[in-house]
């Protein structure tokens, strides 16, 4: 019978978890395609197009996270998206 390995002294840092969750990939934001309010998580999200990746790999990302990572791009999108209510979410 197999037994799962567990080492209580294994130093799993937040940085290591973040690296594992992103599979070690660092990609830039090409642009934003849409926005929505996610009822399940009660947050605004933007559909992100990534530099060097195909359209099938576009992903919905939390507005708060994007405001930390690429604030200028988010604010530019908010002023050009055509939704008068959306820019108010940036405050």
Quote the tokens at residue 42: 């009660």
Q: Yes or no: say if 43 and 37 are a contact pair by the CB < 8 Å rule.
A: yes
Q: What is the pTM of this model?
A: 0.71
Residues 6+ apart with CB under 8 A from 14: none
Question: What domains are defined for the chain?
Answer: 28-90 (2.40.50.40)
DSSP 85: T
pLDDT tens, N- to C-terminus, the chain (91 residues): 666 666 665 677 777 666 666 665 678 999 999 999 999 999 999 999 999 999 999 999 999 999 999 999 999 999 999 988 887 777 7
Quote the tokens at residue 36: 């929505």
* Cα 25 to Cα 8: distance, rounded to the nearest angstrom: 28
């Amino acid at each position: 019978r197999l037994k799962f390995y567990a080492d209580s002294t294994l130093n799993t840092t937040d940085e290591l978890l973040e690296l594992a969750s992103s599979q070690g990939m660092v990609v830039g934001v090409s642009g934003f395609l849409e926005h929505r309010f996610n009822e399940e998580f009660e947050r605004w999200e933007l559909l992100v197009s990534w530099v060097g990746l195909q359209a099938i790999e576009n992903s919905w990302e939390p507005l708060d996270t994007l405001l930390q990572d690429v604030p200028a791009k988010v604010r530019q999108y908010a002023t050009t998206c055509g939704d008068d209510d959306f820019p108010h979410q940036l405050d």
